[in-house]
A and B are shown apart, each in its own frame.
Chain A
């Protein structure tokens, strides 16, 4: 792509993590004084790109040019000194110190070796004035809202002479008014000639503020677009990745049988909701059925899963199991009722890294039996080897620590864990995220097999293709609310994307 002198040019950047290509020949161009949105679903490589750029990770291949010169830094600190500052969603400032100190920490003006507090506070006020922000800079940062803290972080970056400002999901925890405040500041910075990389998954915001959009998907560049020249449906199509041709042959295997969809549903959700988390929604799930949840990142997919499983407590509605109302207020309850959940964040919520495969699989069974009832080692081993064979988990032996496995195999271990407790309902939140294509296909096949054996499965994925292929029913969520339920021939890309895109 030929561009008028980009301030930042990234050429064919590659970064591998064990088992995954996190970045695969990604190009990215940032021009002076533009707001450039960087978009992509989970695992697209947005944050890896930022982390490689700012020196948190080492790049494997590729070139980065900053202001025309090759750019290579080893730490965020070094990047900051060169003029590239990042403001994270999790504010990386210290809440216990004052606003002024946070801006000038370790750079405070001094008189004879001692900090000049007056000058520090004055200078801080001046910096914030540039952002049209008036604060009592002597107050501790933690006493202000997240929005203000973010602006203070931007103020610090400005004072460090940031030419490129990376805002990593800055609006996720802001309300509407605060978002507007932030946008005012972003426009102001733009007019002052700063360049901004704006990472977000809010489509509306991208259209409101950005000049250009770069879309990544599965570590690859989908494309760079002028915001004015791409419409919503097209953008969503790019985000969701329309094609996954490799395994379309398996599509035929799904039976769209309706014979068991009458009568009392296995699980019925009536008006379940929680304020601020997700609007009340209804769901009906039958045995031998896969219900797909489609929607963009942050639309409320995971929230639905968490409410049903009892990780978050609903403040409205009820859950019926085989027609009877049940009270689920924590995951332990849902275990008792035979629910299982493969969480979205496999690393921190799913596996226990240092335990062996055997121990990871036995966990849920042990919980079900009560923690003081020892399960005989022989029985454990028999069970585990059964699942290793059944799910084709690739490992030298069952005593291997689970962290040594690839992502796909870890996922299978988690599935095995639930199978061991023989659940009636299995919720799978992004089970195929961050694993390679072959393993994805195996997981999909597994989902279909399990449902045919009588399990009800709630399947969440940001791969539209995958949801369409596996599910008999698809629920579409957007902006923290269920907006549609599709069955039969309605389940196709076009319909789903239109549902998501309609304003």
Chain B
């Protein structure tokens, strides 16, 4: 037992805690509510949190590198507006629209990454202005919600993998899982991913070790921008509309998911798989409130806030302890 305990990597403790909490909440739900454990509830959990989850994957890499990206929510919303503009006003086909919006997301992210690297500007400020800019640009297109009536988007939103006779995994959830898998592979099995960890661990060392720090930083924010654009596409499939006021504060939920998922805000340590669980924990808490029926939704926020506090404190103790060693 002792040996087993010794083998556990200390830095992974927040990750394990996050898994345990997930299982606990799920178990609690299953005890209180009969249907909590059903496959349908789980599929809905994935679907309803897919856009949050997709941005959180990008955010995970950004935070591992020691940065932050506050523009993800606005960028997602801006993407929905772009799709609406291109499709409904300019009548462009999806085959043009979809690659175009992803490319715009990548460019937007690269631009922010470039500013952060070349001007040595703090990511918080650069992405904050990115956040205002993208929200604003969305409103330039329209102040109102624009329904997207193109057949393709409706058909796509109905597509899914039949799991059982009645239950289907919709495309939205599939994209979410695919992005998570890509995120895991990127972070664990590519030089880009490992260099990201190195930059977050100690940027100056990374420079002295001869890593292409500038290029990697730009790529990290480009990846996050791409994730935001993908989240925008998913959001369009989810609501079949573009709306500039949609999901205010997504970026902060996204950061919360990443931190609850065991990623250190100071950078250098983190796991995309943890982020997935972090997103689902938040979703479960909302589910709990819904199942309960009488409670105000804001209780979910309160619980998430407490959970976040718990994780931050846990991170502090572990990072100071490892430093003391």
Contacts and interface: CB of A to CB of B under 8 A. Distances in A.
A94 B201 contact: yes
A115 B191 contact: yes
Contacts of B198: 94, 97, 101, 105
B208 interface: yes
Contacts, number: 72
Interface stretch (A15-23, A106-114, A334-342, A430-438): A106-114
B10 to A, nearest CB: 8
Given A105-B194, A108-B191, 12 more contacts: A76-B208, A77-B210, A80-B210, A92-B204, A93-B202, A95-B268, A96-B11, A96-B197, A96-B269, A105-B195, A113-B190, A140-B11
Nearest to B211: A106
A237 B269 CA distance: 50
A143 interface: yes
Interface string B1-19: 0000000011100000000
Contact of A114 (B185, B202, B212, B325): B185
Interface of A: 76-77, 80-81, 91-97, 101, 105-106, 108, 110, 113-115, 117, 139-140, 142-143, 156
8 nearest A-B pairs in the assembled complex, by CB-CB distance: A94-B201, A77-B210, A96-B268, A96-B201, A114-B189, A92-B205, A92-B208, A94-B198
Contacts of B268: 94-96
A139 B9 CA distance: 8
Interface in B190-223: 190-191, 194-195, 197-198, 200-202, 204-206, 208-212
A109 to B, nearest CB: 11
Contacts of A156: 209
Contacts of A80: 210
Contacts of A140: 9, 11
B38 interface: no
A292 to B, nearest CB: 37
Contacts of B212: 106
Question: Most chain-B CB neighbours within 10 Å: which of A91, A92, A113?
Answer: A92
Interface string B113-124: 000000000000
Contact of B201 (A77, A81, A97, A115): A97
B204 A106 contact: no
Nearest to A80: B210
A422 to B, nearest CB: 40
Given A77-B210, A94-B205, A94-B206, A106 B200 contact: no
A106 B195 contact: yes
B322 interface: yes
Interface string B76-98: 00000000000000000000000
15 contacts: A77-B208, A77-B209, A92-B204, A93-B205, A93-B209, A94-B197, A95-B201, A96-B11, A96-B200, A97-B201, A106-B195, A106-B210, A106-B212, A108-B194, A115-B188
Contacts of B204: 92
Nearest to A138: B9
Nearest to A56: B208
Nearest to A160: B210
B325 A97 contact: no
A94 B268 CA distance: 9
Contacts of B195: 105-106
B189 A115 contact: yes
A194 to B, nearest CB: 20
Nearest to B208: A92
Contacts of A92: 202, 204-205, 208-209
Nearest to B9: A140
Question: Most chain-B CB neighbours within 10 Å: which of A77, A91, A105, A139?
Answer: A105
A85 to B, nearest CB: 10
Given A94-B201, A94-B202, A143-B325, A115 B211 contact: no
A56 B202 CA distance: 18
Interface string B263-297: 00000110000000000000000000000000000
Nearest to B209: A105
A338 to B, nearest CB: 36
A95 B200 CA distance: 10
Nearest to A94: B201
B73 to A, nearest CB: 28
Contacts of B201: 94-97
A108 B200 CA distance: 19
Contacts of A108: 191, 194
Given A80-B210, A96-B269, A115 B194 contact: yes
Interface string B168-199: 00000000000000000100111100110110
B11 to A, nearest CB: 7
Contact of B191 (A95, A106, A142): A106
A96 B194 CA distance: 11
Contacts of B194: 97, 101, 105-106, 108, 115
B281 to A, nearest CB: 24
Nearest to B191: A106
Nearest to B323: A142
Nearest to A114: B189
B235 to A, nearest CB: 31
A279 B46 CA distance: 63
Interface in B235-273: 268-269
A220 B208 CA distance: 28
B268 to A, nearest CB: 4
A142 B198 CA distance: 13
A93 to B, nearest CB: 6
Interface string B134-169: 000000000000000000000000000000000000
B255 to A, nearest CB: 20
Nearest to A117: B189
B190 to A, nearest CB: 7
A110 B325 CA distance: 33
A443 B180 CA distance: 64
Nearest to B64: A96
A94 B212 CA distance: 15
A112 to B, nearest CB: 10
A117 B195 CA distance: 15
A93 B209 CA distance: 7
